[in-house]
Chains A and B, each alone.
Chain A
Amino acid sequence: MPNSKDIGIIDCGISNLGSIAQSISNLGHNPIIVSDPELISGKSHLIFPGQGTFSEGMRRINSLGWNEVLRSEVLDNGKPILGICLGMQLFAKFGNEGGLEDGLGFVEGEVSKLGDEGLRLPHIGWNTVCQSRDSRLFVSIPQNVDFYFSHSFILKLAKDSIATANCNYGQPFTASLECKNIFGTQFHPEKSSKAGRQLLKNFCEVEIC
């Protein structure tokens, strides 16, 4: 297919990779699941999906040799990367699951638990995403559309200016971010029906800075 791109899906063993690969392939691109950091080059865009805990995610990133490679691809080479759910949270400088620990540090901020006063956790289901500024991810996606969330932790950004959308569950929190070539969504676009498909399509069309 013309304009079909090689989209690298980073596999640290912490995600439902099948769903993401399927969504990318349905868009006419080539999803390439990359389990070995040395094989990352040559992909036009990177998707970093993740579920589970921050500490387990970082442990795997470090022990499998992803930390250096991601740093070089994202910070030095300016390759577009989309972190999904825990994937986005791992971009933060710190995680806090009851003690501070280092994240990848691509964005200034900290990951902490959603407040649970009177609310059921995890926050699972479809919730309204309110776009707070223009983002390349949300092209052709209407304001206040529902996306699918599944998480108990949130990313608190030091600078609100890189947040592109927010959501509310007992408290407002960052639903998506964009900072140069770095993109993230707290929700799961690969499971968010038509709006999610459009978002992934938009990401795959982002030009390399």
Chain B
Amino acid sequence: MLKIRLIPTLLWKDFGLVKGEKFSSLRRVGPILPTIKVYNARDVDEIMLCDVGATAKNIDPNYSLIEEVASQCYVPLTVSGGISKLEHIEKLLVAGADKVALNTSIYSNPFLLTEAAERFGSQCIMASIDAKRNGDRWICVSDSGTKIQTVEPCNWARQLADRGAGEILITSVDQDGTMTGYELGLIESICSAVNVPVVASGGAAGAKHMVEVLRNSNVSALCAASIFHFTEITPLDIKKELMEFGFPVRIGI
């Protein structure tokens, strides 16, 4: 049976890991390699690594960082942040990334997604959508949450899946770092809009929030960051709880 994936998200900025709230007030949470080693030892299902400063600074992805991280990573590694050309993707895959997530660059250049999926296969290309509440609806935002986009998240998710995205990562900016639970309505609406796997992100403080979202929608994977940075809860603790609620999870050998 296919398992629900639990994915720790690591945010990188300049020279170390950070975590904030609602995409701002970032604070330092430590060096990256020891963190990767811990996640490996704990046998997480996958690791997501986002360079949150790359787009604003208009710099290329940090290939040597990815190479270092990948050498310590025995589960799939998804890399995002500052990816705006096919050449970036190619170099990231050589450096050891298994998948890439595209976000800001595809608002102005959706063809990049199509070309990337054709060249590297859909399974390798994740489309990432950051969304914010706007009255009783949601809007897409890009550039680390600083720029409002006109397209509506469900509509955008559908377009991205049609263009060849292998997975959709949906992050709620309002819930990010608040540890008050996932944005259930948003996640459910994206799950209903597309037939590719959907990865939920933003707001988890523990297994109970994950149970909420799993009961409410057909998500394939759950991201979390604050839990692992700021609490003693381990990925295994969460998986054991999810298992008690009857959800399929992977317990490593």
Q: If the complex has contacts A19-B70, A146-B3, A194-B252, are A125 and B96 also in contact, measured as CB distance less than 8 A?
A: no
Interface positions, chain A 116-147, Cβ under 8 Å from B, are 116, 120-128, 141-142, 145-146
18 sample A-B contacts, Cβ–Cβ < 8 Å, listed by A number: A16-B97, A17-B94, A18-B67, A18-B97, A19-B98, A22-B71, A51-B123, A120-B220, A121-B195, A123-B2, A124-B166, A125-B5, A125-B220, A126-B45, A146-B3, A191-B74, A193-B252, A195-B253
Summarize B's interface: helix, strand, loop or mixed.
loop
Mostly, the A contact residues are: mixed
- A103–B123 CA distance with the chains assembled, in angstroms: 21
The interface of chain B, by Cβ under 8 A from chain A, is 1-3, 5, 43, 45, 67, 70-71, 74-76, 93-98, 119-124, 166-167, 195-198, 218, 220-221, 250, 252-253
Would you list which residues of chain A between 147 and 188 have a CB under 8 Å from chain B? 148, 150-152, 168-169, 188
Of all chain A residues, which has the CB nearest B2? A127
A16 touches B196 (CB 8 A): no
- In the complex, whether A65 has a CB less than 8 A from a CB of chain B is no
User: Does residue A52 face the partner (Cβ distance < 8 Å to B)?
Assistant: yes
Residues A51 and B120 in contact, CB atoms below 8 Å apart: yes
Contact partners of B70 in chain A: CB under 8 A: 18-19, 22
**Which residues in B have their C-beta under 8 angstroms from that of A128?**
1
Cβ–Cβ < 8 Å partners of B221 in chain A: 125
**Does the CB pair B96–A121 fall under 8 Å?**
no
Quick check: B195 and A116 within 8 Å, CB to CB? yes
Q: Given the complex, which residues of B lie within 8 Å of A152, measured CB to CB?
A: 122-123
Known A18-B93, A22-B96; judge A126-B2 contact (CB<8 A): yes
A53 touches B121 (CB 8 A): yes
Report the minimal beta-carbon distance from B1 to chain A, rounded to whole angstroms: 6
In the complex the two chains form, is B96's CB within 8 Å of A19's CB? yes
Given contacts A22-B96, A23-B74, A169-B2, 11 further A-B contacts (CB under 8 A): A16-B96, A18-B95, A19-B98, A22-B71, A122-B122, A124-B123, A124-B166, A124-B167, A127-B1, A148-B75, A192-B75
